[in-house]
Structure 1
Amino acid sequence: MSNVTPFPSQAGQGSGASASQTGFDRLELQRIMDLYGRMVAAGHWRDYAIDMGREAAIFSAFRRAAERPEFRIEKRPSLRHRQGMWALIGEAGHVLKRGADLQNILAPVERRLLKIVSD
């Protein structure tokens, strides 16, 4: 019980291995989880998944656990100098918004939340 695994895993970085993992930092995850919590409170989302791989970190939000994610928020640092490292991807797999700032990427979902709450 005394084993502590860093989040995201830092294994292999000190040994010269190139198997680093892309992850969300604390502020990014806090913004995403804040939005997720408000969508859960509005009764729209019920589940989420986080996938942290070598190329990207992905947060997926589900209406129900058994279906495709309604939205995916992807962080791909390799696209930082091209299109921006953040992307909002819809249920059908289309890129809805791409950019360098997480707040701008979350804006369409925030607007949708306002619409859900006002109904």
Structure 2
Amino acid sequence: MGVVTPFPAGAGRPSQTGFERAELARILDLYGRMVAAGHWRDYAIDLGRDAAVFSAFRRSAERPEFRIEKRPALRNRQGMWALVNEVGAVLKRGHELGPVLAPVERRLMKLVED
């Protein structure tokens, strides 16, 4: 009849982690508002096997000011979303993207005096 070829051992695991359309739209909306406010100038997206990372830069030649990381392996533990600052400290971690982005969005608020 034919030759049966076995599947590779890691067939159930995706070869790359990425952002869904709604997640990327939310992140790019924040990025656009931060660019308009003059805070950020460049970004980078890194799609790896274990994590998808969106990095936002003040200037291209520096380390990223913030990294938004999606790690699906942490979904059932502390949450797959993390906001990491320039030195690598995790500022916020959670199960939903909105609350994780809140500290960055607060930087856009301005106090209006009477």
TM over 0.5: yes
Structure with greater Cα Rg: 2
C-alpha displacement of 1:111: 0.2
Letter in 1 for 2:90: V
What's the TM-score, normalizing by structure 1?
0.81
Aligned equivalents of 1:91, 1:56: Cα separation in 2? 18
Q: Post-superposition, which runs of at least 4 consecutive aligned residues in structure 1 deviate over 3 A?
A: 16-19
Instruction: Answer yes or no: is 1:54 the counterpart of 2:54.
Output: no
- Aligned counterpart, 2:67: 72
Instruction: Answer yes or no: is 1:105 the counterpart of 2:100.
Output: yes
Aligned residue pairs total 102
Letter in 2 for 1:95: V
What's the C-alpha RMSD, in Å, of the aligned pairs? 1.5
Per-residue displacement from partner, 1:46-105 (whole Å, max 9, x unpaired)?
Answer: 000000000000000000000000000000000000000000000110000000000000
Letter in 1 for 2:35: V
Aligned equivalents of 1:54, 1:97: Cα separation in 2? 22
Aligned equivalents of 1:79, 1:106: Cα separation in 2? 18
Unaligned stretches of 5+ residues in structure 2:
1-10
Letter in 2 for 1:70: E
Aligned equivalents of 2:14, 2:27: Cα separation in 1? 26
- Aligned counterpart, 1:38: 33
Letter in 2 for 1:38: R
Unaligned stretches of 5+ residues in structure 1:
1-15
The sequence identity of aligned pairs, in percent, is: 75
What's the TM-score, normalizing by structure 2?
0.85
Letter in 1 for 2:95: A
Residue pairs, 1:16-27, within 5 angstroms: 16=11, 18=13, 20-27=15-22
